[in-house]
């Protein structure tokens, strides 16, 4: 196998030669630098590379090209080399248009022309592209095979678990020819209970309707701690938890992060986050999560998956958590970053259809099945808007159903503008879902106009719900002080009007910021009372919590 390829595409010969020259000067020893003058020419080159069995590490494409622009080319290139990293070359005058167009393709960076000096403006970007490609790997992936039913809650949950943990798998319907072959080979009756979904590992091991913990163990995810005692336990793997893990581990603390399902939380399900510092062209929640997870592991943090904390333990100076199986881990300090869950939609028939066309959060694994269909998205915050943009690329029509009178009160301006420019997205304000109907799967949704009381039936096979935020804090009841909605109180919010400290507080000081009613137990992110529900603030609180852990340990 030859050297990995760095491919640059630009219809301006002088620019094409210049970028190829700069790339060879820095990367020529380890990579083969190729250039093309048009999108079609570059695609022909990629096909030849594919036939030879060589790898492509990164592709840099000019935004403005005749025949096929940079966005169209990168979209086609993804089909040939999905793991190659992608960057868009653009002139300053086209920056806004390029950023808007980037929403169509999952691009890693954009570069302004000219990029002089390359040591400051070109090489750092290409270094990041190569590092990401090397971390993800481009060797043949031995995929897990999953056989199940299209509208089966168990099948959906398993696929969603694998996707959110970035475990490669191939999906087969039980009634497809390949699905039937796999079932027959495994001597599995698809009509028998506890058989579907069926999982076949690359080693040929067959798992019938496995639990998340069993599946995690088989696919190589860590589920058991390596130690009994740590410096800090972080509960929750969303942006706040990952931020805390990165900073704690990088500063030498023995760190373990406990996650019930998959790192990333709600942010990890976002199709594109565009208002996060340092990503002017946006970043998908999955990309951001993957980078943060790898960063935490690089510094030595342990990440445990499929472990649900069910009790907060306080024993002398030790703080710890107990899991559902009765096992415990302890530490000097605990950071709670459990986030929130979407509230259940109150509509007739919805419970029977959850997982059968009705989903909470952005179920990206269902995107291909939405092709040509009408999709309903419920909610008015950023997560709902991002989902509407994402599913508009697959569905024939997307209805964004919002209870409020407008989007301005709950959604970022940039996202409102995007939605207004997408032809197949319809925003319906002052509207609620009153019923979900269907035999075995969602087939119709009844929408109610809250002003007129009129009921509108909509033929839709998919409904994605993004309403409200319920804190995941029931397991802390009786140990920590929470507000009326269940969010955890911290810092000065714990003090009475007369400055009195919370009941049971045994430290000779007031609680630190982010410190809960138990000294040494901190809270960060959406689960904290009065927190700002944004990714950046959650990451910041996670980092700040680690600073306060240091203060606690030295006090």
Which H or E run includes 321? Answer: strand 318-323
Per residue of the chain (555 residues), give pLDDT as tens: 578 999 999 998 888 899 999 999 999 999 999 999 999 999 989 988 886 778 999 999 998 888 888 888 988 888 788 889 998 888 766 676 666 666 666 777 878 877 888 898 899 989 989 988 888 766 555 678 999 998 899 999 999 999 888 888 889 999 998 898 889 888 888 888 788 999 998 888 899 999 999 999 998 899 999 999 999 999 999 999 999 999 999 999 999 999 999 998 888 777 778 888 887 777 888 888 888 999 999 999 999 999 999 999 999 999 999 999 999 999 999 999 999 888 899 999 999 999 999 999 877 788 888 989 999 999 999 989 999 999 998 999 999 999 999 999 889 999 999 999 999 999 999 999 999 999 999 999 999 999 999 999 999 999 999 997 789 899 999 999 999 999 999 999 999 988 999 998 999 999 999 999 999 999 999 999 999 888 999 999 999 999 999 999 998
- pTM, rounded to two decimals: 0.75
* DSSP secondary structure code for residue 369 in this structure: G
Residue 270: the pLDDT is: 79
Pairwise CA distance, residues 243 & 274, whole Å: 18
User: Where does residue 461 fall: left (phi above 0), alpha (psi -120 to 50 degrees), or beta otherwise?
Assistant: alpha
Pairwise CA distance, residues 447 & 14, whole Å: 57
Helix (H, G, I), strand (E, B) or coil at 363: coil
3-state secondary structure 103-120: CCCCCCEEEEECCCCHHH
Pairwise CA distance, residues 388 & 371, whole Å: 14
Residue 243: the pLDDT is: 97
Pairwise CA distance, residues 311 & 258, whole Å: 13
* DSSP secondary structure code for residue 126 in this structure: H
Of 99, 92, 100, 40, nearest to 65 by C-alpha is 40
Q: Are strands 462-465 and 374-378 parallel, antiparallel or unpaired?
A: parallel
Residue ranges of the alpha helices (H) in 369-494?
382-391, 413-420
Contact 233, 320 (CB under 8 A): yes
Burial class (CB in 10 A: 0-12, 13-18, 19+), 497: exposed
Helix (H, G, I), strand (E, B) or coil at 428: strand
Residue 482: the pLDDT is: 96
Contact 80, 89 (CB under 8 A): no
Pairwise CA distance, residues 534 & 454, whole Å: 35
């Amino acid at each position: 196998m030859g050297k990995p390829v760095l491919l640059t595409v630009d219809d301006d010969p002088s620019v094409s030669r210049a970028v190829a020259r700069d790339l060879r000067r820095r990367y020529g020893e380890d990579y083969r630098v190729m250039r093309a003058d048009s999108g079609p020419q570059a695609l022909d080159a990629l096909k030849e590379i594919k036939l030879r069995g060589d790898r492509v590490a990164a592709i840099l494409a000019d935004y403005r090209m005749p025949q096929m622009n940079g966005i169209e080319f990168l979209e086609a290139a993804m089909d040939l080399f999905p793991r190659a990293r992608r960057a868009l070359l653009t002139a300053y005058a086209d920056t806004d248009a390029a950023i808007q167009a980037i929403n169509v393709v999952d691009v890693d960076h954009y570069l302004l022309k000219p990029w002089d000096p390359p040591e400051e403006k070109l090489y750092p970007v290409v270094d990041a592209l190569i590092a990401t490609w090397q971390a993800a790997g481009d060797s043949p992936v031995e995929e897990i095979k999953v056989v199940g039913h299209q509208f089966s809650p168990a099948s959906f949950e398993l696929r969603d678990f694998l996707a959110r943990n970035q475990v490669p798998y191939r999906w087969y319907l039980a009634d497809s020819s390949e699905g039937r072959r796999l079932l027959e080979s495994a001597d599995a009756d698809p009509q028998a209970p506890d058989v579907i979904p069926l999982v076949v590992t690359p080693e040929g091991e067959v798992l019938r309707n496995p639990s998340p913990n069993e599946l995690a163990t088989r696919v190589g995810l860590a589920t058991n701690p390596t130690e009994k005692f740590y410096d800090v336990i972080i509960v929750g793997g969303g942006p706040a938890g990952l931020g805390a893990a990165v900073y704690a581990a990088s500063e030498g603390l023995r760190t373990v992060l406990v996650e019930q399902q998959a790192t990333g939380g709600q942010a990890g399900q976002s199709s594109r986050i565009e208002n996060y510092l340092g990503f002017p062209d946006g970043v998908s929640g999955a990309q951001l999560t993957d980078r943060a997870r790898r960063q935490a592991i690089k510094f030595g943090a342990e990440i445990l998956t499929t472990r649900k904390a069910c009790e907060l333990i306080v024993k002398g100076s030790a703080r710890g958590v107990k899991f559902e199986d009765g096992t415990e881990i302890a530490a000097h300090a605990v950071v709670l970053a459990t986030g929130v869950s979407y509230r259940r939609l109150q509509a007739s028939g919805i419970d029977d259809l959850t997982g059968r066309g009705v989903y909470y959060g952005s179920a990206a694994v269902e995107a291909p099945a939405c092709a040509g269909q009408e999709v309903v998205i419920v909610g008015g915050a950023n997560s709902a808007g991002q989902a509407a943009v994402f599913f508009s690329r697959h569905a024939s029509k997307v209805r964004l159903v919002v209870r409020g009178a407008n989007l301005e009160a709950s959604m970022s301006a940039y996202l409102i503008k995007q939605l207004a420019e997408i032809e197949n997205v319809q925003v319906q304000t002052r509207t609620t879902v009153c019923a979900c109907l269907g035999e075995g799967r969602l087939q119709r949704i009844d929408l109610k106009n809250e002003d007129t009381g009129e009921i509108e039936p909509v033929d839709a096979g998919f409904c994605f719900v993004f309403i409200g935020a319920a804190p995941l804090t029931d397991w802390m009841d009786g140990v920590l002080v929470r507000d009326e909605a269940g969010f955890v109180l911290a810092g000065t919010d714990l003090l009475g009007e007369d400055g009195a400290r919370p009941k049971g507080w045994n430290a000779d000081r007031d609680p630190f910021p982010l410190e809960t009613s138990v000294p040494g137990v901190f809270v960060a992110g959406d689960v904290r009372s009065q927190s700002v529900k944004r990714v950046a603030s959650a990451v910041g609180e996670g980092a700040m919590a680690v600073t306060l852990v240091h203060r606690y340990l030295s006090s």
